[in-house]
């Protein structure tokens, strides 16, 4: 499919976009906490990937390569945006209310569970936005999206040790910001 797309086959590229769109969008969304920005950046990342497809040597997987384009684009965007962050959060899925891990986090004192989840969502996103971009990215890719340290190292073009240390520091920071919401 990648070979066909490299020859300019837009139908093949359409299939590739469909395959990775959700993961790429989610990464950018968790980095920006803004749906509109994530939409624009995700589209631009896929467009740039198509334009640069001829330079794709196949040294890494297409998935890692597209991820790297999306991540670089997002970090550049965030550097330009700097302090102009305006959150536009996606709605929580209905199933969040039934997740045992999240239910355990919600205080029994307040019966309006949805409001608490919404409040938690907002506080969590605010805390994420306080992290530096590399730290936010590591938390997003590992703790939210479930990528391995090795995959993250490839995407961020750094060694695994750097990924681990960034992850540890980022978690410490988040823990401090969200201490009121953690038991």
Partner 1 sequence: MNQNTENFEQLRRLLKLKRYEQPPPGYFNGFSGQVIARIRLGERGEESAVIERLLWEAPWLQRIWAAFEAKPVLAGAFGLAVCGLLITGVIYSENGDVQPVALIPVTESLPSSTEVANVNAENHPLLVKPAALETSSTNPITALETDGLLLGGLRAQPTSFTLPGRN
Closest CB to partner 1 among residues 105, 158: 105
DSSP letter at 147 equals -
Q: Is the dihedral of CA 151, 157, 159, 163 positive or negative?
A: negative
Establish if 133 lies at the interface with partner 1 (CB under 8 A).
Answer: no
Establish if 21 lies at the interface with partner 1 (CB under 8 A).
Answer: yes
Q: How far apart are CA 39 and CA 45, in angstroms?
A: 10
Other C-beta atoms lying within 10 Å of the C-beta of residue 57:
7
Q: How far apart are CA 136 and CA 134, in angstroms?
A: 5
Establish if 65 lies at the interface with partner 1 (CB under 8 A).
Answer: no
Write down the least CB distance from residue 118 to partner 1, Å: 10
Establish if 108 lies at the interface with partner 1 (CB under 8 A).
Answer: no
Binding-site size, partner 1 (CB under 8 A): 47
Contact between 33 and 129 (Cβ < 8 Å): yes
Instruction: Let me know how long the chain is.
Output: 183
Q: How far apart are CA 126 and CA 120, in angstroms?
A: 10
Closest CB to partner 1 among residues 17, 155: 17
Binding region for partner 1 (CB under 8 A): 10, 13-14, 17-18, 21-22, 25, 29-30, 35, 39, 42-43, 46-47, 50-51, 89-93, 95-96, 99, 101-102, 104-105, 117, 120-121, 124-125, 128, 139, 143-144, 171-172, 174-175, 178, 181-183
């Amino acid at each position: 499919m990648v070979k066909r797309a490299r020859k300019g086959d837009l139908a093949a590229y359409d299939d590739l976009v469909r395959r990775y769109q959700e993961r790429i969008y989610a990464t950018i969304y968790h980095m920006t906490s803004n749906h509109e920005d994530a939409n624009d950046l995700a589209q631009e990342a896929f467009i740039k990937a198509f334009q640069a497809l001829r330079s794709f040597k196949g040294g890494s997987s297409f998935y890692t390569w597209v991820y790297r384009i999306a991540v670089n684009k997002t970090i550049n965007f965030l550097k330009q945006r700097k302090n102009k962050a305006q959150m536009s959060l996606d709605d929580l899925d209905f199933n969040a209310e039934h997740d045992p891990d999240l239910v355990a986090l919600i205080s029994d004192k307040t019966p309006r569970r949805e409001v608490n989840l919404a409040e938690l969502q907002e506080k969590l996103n605010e805390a994420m936005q306080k992290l530096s971009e590399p730290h936010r990215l590591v938390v997003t890719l590992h703790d939210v999206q479930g990528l391995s340290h090795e995959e993250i190292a490839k995407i961020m073009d750094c060694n695994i040790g750097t990924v681990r240390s960034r992850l540890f520091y980022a978690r410490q920071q988040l823990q401090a910001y969200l201490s009121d919401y953690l038991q």
